[in-house]
Structure 1
């Protein structure tokens, strides 16, 4: 195998593929990246860990076609640090020679024949705007569980009903749901799948710069449950999570007693400051009354802090407490200048949504439900 490729092209491609390499590969070959140089002037780089696959194809000047497997993270480090000149790659006597200007590296060839075959992606289900999808995934995945106690809660539930796609995640303490419009291949498309949250977040971020992302949901010809995402010449697949996702729709209140509208940035800064005195697992208390919300934390002989922020309140006054990290996660995910927080009572979940102006309508396409924390009165 022998080819020449631009330094930035190789560095970007290797970095994108290497992001999914396992930290502790179950078998040594899974630490590698497969390079396939073809006579048609393309270079394909692939990585696979039996759960997630990544593949990208770039242009290259191929003098001799071939396939080679090399350590992925090492190749990524080398390609990022080479000078801004074309890179020549060639195999010679069991080694992979990488040359760029005066820089020369000799890499060990791994046994490419032992490398597993990447799964074929399911047939595309539809496409979605890249920036919109990236934003939606970020808003929802913030509520996915990061532990291993209930693996099913580490996923993001993706439901497709015609042109409507609904993303949902919960870790039992908060719940996030985002509805968006996409372009299904079939007008009566109907799918419900559970995608690993961390993988979905990384995929959305890495493909979001593209104008459009092709999404494939469902089983492959071999019967495996996979989700596939493709943009440009980049493609990734992930194995779906199995199990029955909890029925959480009932958490959303059907009506509210109190609504408060506050400038998002003001509340974020105030909560951050007050939370400085909140010890681990200690909530911050919010009292909505009149034209302000008073935020405080700390009791008794402990350090204490308080601050007030203007808000527009409709309905009865209410005092409620939240985990400050979860509260800030929700405020950060709303993504608008103003946030509407709706309450039924202090012991029931609150619902956060965004709105563009102080007196505008709430945008309920994104809703973040936060469970309150009991506190001593």
Structure 2
């Protein structure tokens, strides 16, 4: 959805902190954890370390924003006096922790925290202590949030979180190709597909959602992976807005709203890899495959200088073997064979795989059995839960030494 950005007018006079509220200690501590990513990330401007508290009757809305990510948490509050104040996020976090030192969690959870603004200075009151926070930054210096619309897609939070956890390991962590640090997200009227790749592996999965339009965005993987677990409602709402040429992704539940600046760029086309027709499939118990991959990786690290030297996968008509790498003669290396159900071609098939990537791929699968979908040894291999291709993890082959 494309919207037009408008900015609230500000006067030349600096706005001081005003208002007051009381909230549960445990609620405020939890909210500050959610707000921590924008507040402790970029350090170019001091205001990035501040949380804007907007006090309304019966509630307080806490927000952090660093121009890339905005996080807002709404808490029930008592003793409210309407106003807006800037709270030093790191200092407030430390005060709340220090004030309950030596007490049990049960006692700490029963404490209330009151914040007032005498002389326009935020003061924290907890457990008989009163401590002022820094007040050198005026309220109106806090950046304006993007004026996104209400999210229109709805997804089950646990299902969405699980898929994000599964695809995130395949996202790039470098800075050479920024678009590969994102999760390519395609929202449709009835489904959402997430895809991540670092060029050496690829993960993609689809889950059901309720929506009304089709959108495609590239969400920073590290940001989504850190913030999504902070949401707790059974369902989450998702939205996409284009504001002044910038695309924002909104993620919200009953108490928390996160707005994420998406990445620019054209994501690589991966459909030909995901949709390749296998010439054979190999199905093995997941626990046995994980054990074999773990031992092959450990033995490789023990006998080579690089723990990522490729392990050798060999498929016969009824078995799969994972052999460790070696600096010596590879023909002298043997490994136990795993009994497997093999369909399609039955001639001997051999390729190499990065052991760390193979272990990470197996870790994202959840069924009792895993199926490897294979074509040519020089082509990518696809791993799925047996009988389920809604989630696919792809590994690029690694050339084996002659």
Quote the residue 1:332 is aligned against: 363
The answer to whether the 8 A contact 2:204-2:391 is kept is: yes
**CA distance in 2 between partners of 1:161 and 1:253 (Å):** 19
Counterpart secondary structure, 1:122:
coil
1:200 aligns with 2:217: no
Post-superposition Cα deviations, 1:257-279, rounded to whole Å, max 9, x if no partner, equal 22111222222232122212332
Does 1:216 find its partner at 2:243?
no
In the alignment, is residue 309 of structure 1 matched against residue 338 of structure 2?
A: yes
Shift of 1:8: 0.8
Q: Tell me the alpha carbon deviations over residues 51-86 of structure 1, each in whole angstroms, 9 at most, x when there is no partner.
A: 110001101113422222122123223324543111
Q: How do 1:215-294 residues align onto structure 2 when only pairs under 5 Å count?
A: 215-220=238-243, 222-276=244-298, 277-278=300-301, 279-294=306-321
* Contact residue 274 and residue 305 of structure 1 kept, 8 A: no
Contact 1:152 1:242 in 2 (8 A): yes
| 1:352 matched residue in structure 2 | 383
Which residue number in structure 2 is paired with residue 358 of structure 1? none
Does the Cα contact within 8 Å between 1:18 and 1:76 map onto a contact in 2?
A: no
Q: How far apart, in 1, do the equivalents of 2:290 and 2:120 lie?
A: 57
Report the more deviating stretch, 157-166 or 52-61: 157-166
In the alignment, the residues of structure 2 paired with residue 50 and residue 164 of structure 1 have an alpha-carbon distance, to the nearest angstrom, of: 29
User: CA offsets per residue over residues 316-358 of structure 1, 9 Å max, x none?
Assistant: 2322211111111211112222110111121110011103xxx
SS at match of 2:170: coil
**What TM-score, normalized by structure 1, do the two folds share?**
0.90
CA distance in structure 1 between the aligned counterparts of 2:24 and 2:334, rounded to whole angstroms: 56
Task: Flag the 1:297–1:45 CA change in 2: closer, same or farther, 3 A.
Answer: same
Note closer, same or farther for the CA distance 1:76–1:305 as it changes in structure 2 (3 Å cut): farther
* Structure 1 match to 2:8: none
Structure 2 counterparts to residues 92-171 of structure 1, below 5 A:
92-93=118-119, 95-109=121-135, 110-171=137-198
- Mind listing any 5+ residue stretches in structure 2 that lack a counterpart? 1-18, 101-107
Give distance in 2, aligned partners of 1:134 and 1:59.
Answer: 26
1:265 is paired with a residue of what secondary structure?
A: helix
Q: Which secondary structure does the structure 1 equivalent of 2:372 belong to?
A: strand
User: Take 1:103 and 1:372, find their aligned partners in 2: how far apart are those partners?
Assistant: 62
Query: Residue 246 and residue 300 in structure 1: after superposition, are their counterparts in 2 closer, same or farther (change >3 A)?
Result: closer
Relative to structure 1, the CA distance from residue 307 to residue 95 in structure 2 (aligned partners, 3 Å threshold; closer, same or farther) is farther
C-alpha separation in 1, matches of 2:83 and 2:329: 67
Distance in 2 between residues matched to 1:114 and 1:179, nearest whole Å? 41
Name the counterpart of 2:85.
68
Decide whether the 8 Å contact of 2:313 with 2:350 is kept in 1.
yes
Q: Secondary structure at the match of 2:364?
A: helix
Alpha-carbon offset, residue 19 of structure 1: 2.9
Partner in structure 2 of residue 359 of structure 1: none
More strand by share: 1
Cα distance change of structure 1 residues 24 and 239 upon mapping to structure 2, 3 Å threshold: closer
Computed over aligned residues only, the root mean square deviation of the Cα atoms, in angstroms, reads 2.2
Cα deviation, residue 113, structure 1? 1.8
Q: Count matched residues.
A: 365
Give yes or no for the alignment of 1:367 onto 2:392: yes
2:69 to 44, 52, 56: 52
Q: Secondary structure at the match of 1:203?
A: helix
TM-score normalised by the chain length of structure 2: 0.85
Measure, in 2, the Cα distance between the counterparts of 1:128 and 1:342: 29
* Counterpart residue number, 1:8: 26
